[in-house]
Structures are given as C-alpha cells and as structure tokens.
C-alpha cells in the first residue's frame, strides 16, 4: 500500500445559499447541515482514512482566513490559496504537484468540501476500497452514487463490465461519462440500473493522473510543469501568482475523465447529498405537521412546505403562504418560491452589477 493523501477542493462560492453564503464565507464555511461548517465535517470524515498531515485544502485568497478558522487541526502549510479560480482540472493538477512533492508515488483523493454524508463509517470504508483500487493498477477511480431519482442537475457515469472485486465490493469498469440530462433521459438512466451520479470524487496515484494530463491535456500539463519549476525556485505563493492565472480553465471531467479509457467506479452505498440549493435543506431536518422546516427563531401560521431560516435572534414569521424559502441574515433577507431557488444566481448577477449592492455578495 502506498502513502495516501486527501485533497479537498474548497473554493466554490455556494451562490444558491445566498444570503447566508457570501464570497468570503461561502457554503462550505457554513453549517448548512449540522452544527459545524461543511468543510470541517468533510475533514473529520477523511481523518478516519489518512492522517491530518496528509490532508490538503485548496481554496481562494478571499476564503483563506475562513478556511484556516474552519480547520485548525490541519498544518498551516497544507492550506493552499489559488490566486484565481481555474476550474477543477487546474486544481487537480495543483493537488498532484503538492502530493508529488511529499511522495511521488502516493495515491490521493480529490474531494469536494461541501457534500453531506451522514454515514461516515461507510464513506471511510468505500474510500479505502477506492484507494486500494488505485494502488492495484494503472487506473483512475471514482466513487459513483446510485441515483434515487431522475435528477437533471448531475452528470452521470455509465458502468461497463466488472473490473475487480476488492474487499467484497465489485468495482466496475466505466463505459462513459455523460453530461446533465433532460428529465426523460434521466428517467431512462435510472430505469436502466447501470448509471451512477457523478459526485466529483476521484482517487488516483500521482504517476497515473500525471500520465493522463500528459496524454489528454498537454497544454495544461505544460503549465503544471512550469508551475512546479517556479515553486521549486520561489515557493508556492510567488509561483502560483506568476503561473496559475495562465493555466487553461477546464473541468477535470472534460480534461481527463471523459477522454480516459482506464477509469473504474466504486459503487457507493453511503448516503450522499450535494445540497445544491436551499430546498435540499429540508431533506436533513425534521418538519412540523404542515411540513415546514424552521431554523432559528422562525414561525409559520397557516402555511405549508416552507423553509424558514432566521439568524441573530431575529423572529421571522410567515403567515398564509406556502412553498417558500425565507432566509433572514443580519443584512439581507431572501424570499423566493421553492421552485425558483435555482434562480438566485441571476439575482446575484444583478447585485454585482450595481455599486450600491455589491457589498451584499
């Protein structure tokens, strides 16, 4: 078994959780589900698999202070700030270089910071299987989530035949990755029984993912070589400032996964939710008799199916209305229909376009 690392991507903005989520304190730095920030919960889960000194967090300059506060148990040098976002392929390349510097033969997992997983023991066991798969062959490994509904907000993974059995789990070859489908296509995927949701959790050894960069993303690989050389001379801070903004902006799915033929999937059986917008919160809290989910000092009279979140001891009350998301913070209040919660991003674009409202982002 090679040395194992985990790299957590914590640079997203979590815009659909505005007004709680802001650019400097986004979704993964908030206790959206649970009592601690979602990043803290993610770190606690992976510490059952790797030691704390082998956990990296890649974030942004703007969020670095919040990340430090959320994970004081990690070494300060393991918290790396991108000077600007260049999507997940560049973040994966940076992670590869960080791990390679410690151990050029190591295996590492790339994990999002903001997913909800209650079954920590099941997650740890299956992440261990994914590591074992990556260490056993020249493969790129992903954890696939069995779909519970025909969701159109996720990419999907179609499995091929059986690849190998590890610790009693049948690891499957991956036939293809497919983009977010329309509803009819998503239904056909669920009915077929051979598709997984793509949760963006990847595991591989440094030489294997480096070879994938060389073969499928040579331009990005060349930039990573330059970044590594600059870091060796001047350290990561100056090197990132100099080289990182020029790296190609592309997702790791497009750059590597969809082009590779040596991909396998570990079917995950632990619970999983990416809680992508406010309506998802209702899945993780108890509701009143009218199916209202209330967080903080909140009340509903004569209404049903609402989500009401209130902070700072402020009473937020809803009377005679249903199917709403109402979120009150110290400086902003959101009221929207639950079925329009995905449109919060359009509102934030308007806020950013006006000087007097940019402070609310």
Cα–Cα distance for residue pair 84/220, rounded to 1 Å: 16
- pLDDT tens per residue, range 225-266: 999 999 999 999 999 999 999 999 999 999 999 999 999 999
> Which burial class, exposed, middle or buried, applies to 346 when counting CB atoms under 10 A from its CB (0-12, 13-18, 19+)?
exposed
Comparing 23-27, 90-94, 166-170, the range with the smallest average pLDDT is: 23-27
pLDDT greater than 90 at residue 342: no
Q: Determine contact, residues 294/305, Cβ cutoff 8 Å.
A: no
pLDDT given for residue 12 in this prediction: 87
Longest dimension (CA), the chain: 66
Mean per-residue pLDDT, 174-197 = 95
Q: What six digits make up the tokens of 90? A: 């560049």
pTM of the predicted structure, to 2 decimals:
0.94
The domains of the chain, with CATH numbers, are: 4-268 (3.90.550.10), 278-360 (no CATH)
Long-range contacts of 315-320 (CB under 8 A, 24+ apart): 318/292
Neighbours of 179 (CB within 10 A): 12
Q: For a pLDDT cut of 90, what percent of the chain falls above it?
A: 94
pLDDT given for residue 13 in this prediction: 83
């Amino acid at each position: 078994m090679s040395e194992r690392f985990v790299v957590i991507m914590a640079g997203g903005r979590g815009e659909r959780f505005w007004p709680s989520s802001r650019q400097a304190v986004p979704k993964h730095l908030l206790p959206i589900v649970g009592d601690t920030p979602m990043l803290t919960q993610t770190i606690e889960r992976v510490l059952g698999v790797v030691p704390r000194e082998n956990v990296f967090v890649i974030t942004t300059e703007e969020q670095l202070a919040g990340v430090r506060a959320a994970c004081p148990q990690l070494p300060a040098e393991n918290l790396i700030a991108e000077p600007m976002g260049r999507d997940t392929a560049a973040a994966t390349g940076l992670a590869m270089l960080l791990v390679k510097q410690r151990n050029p033969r190591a295996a590492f997992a790339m994990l999002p910071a903001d997913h909800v997983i209650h079954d920590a023991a099941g997650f740890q066991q299956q992440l261990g299987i994914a590591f074992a798969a990556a260490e056993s062959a020249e493969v790129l490994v992903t954890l696939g989530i069995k779909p519970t509904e025909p969701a159109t907000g996720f990419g999907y993974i179609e499995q091929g035949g059986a690849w190998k059995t590890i610790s009693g789990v049948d690891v499957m070859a991956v036939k293809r990755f497919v983009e977010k489908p329309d509803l009819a296509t998503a239904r056909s995927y669920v009915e077929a029984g051979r598709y997984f949701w793509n949760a963006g959790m990847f595991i591989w050894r440094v030489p294997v993912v480096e070879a994938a960069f060389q073969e499928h993303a040579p331009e990005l690989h060349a930039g990573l070589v330059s970044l590594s050389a600059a870091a060796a001379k001047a350290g990561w801070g100056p090197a990132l400032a100099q080289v990182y903004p020029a790296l190609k902006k592309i997702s790791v799915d497009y750059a590597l996964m969809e082009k590779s033929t040596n991909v396998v999937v570990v079917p995950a059986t632990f619970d999983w939710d990416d809680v992508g917008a406010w309506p998802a919160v209702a899945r993780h809290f108890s509701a009143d008799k009218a199916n209202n989910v209330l967080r903080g000092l909140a009340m509903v009279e004569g209404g049903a199916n609402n989500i009401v979140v209130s902070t700072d001891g402020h009473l937020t009350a809803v009377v005679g209305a249903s199917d709403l998301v109402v979120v009150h913070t110290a400086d902003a209040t959101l009221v929207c229909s639950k079925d329009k919660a995905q449109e919060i991003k359009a509102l934030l674009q308007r806020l950013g376009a006006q000087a007097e409202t940019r402070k609310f982002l």
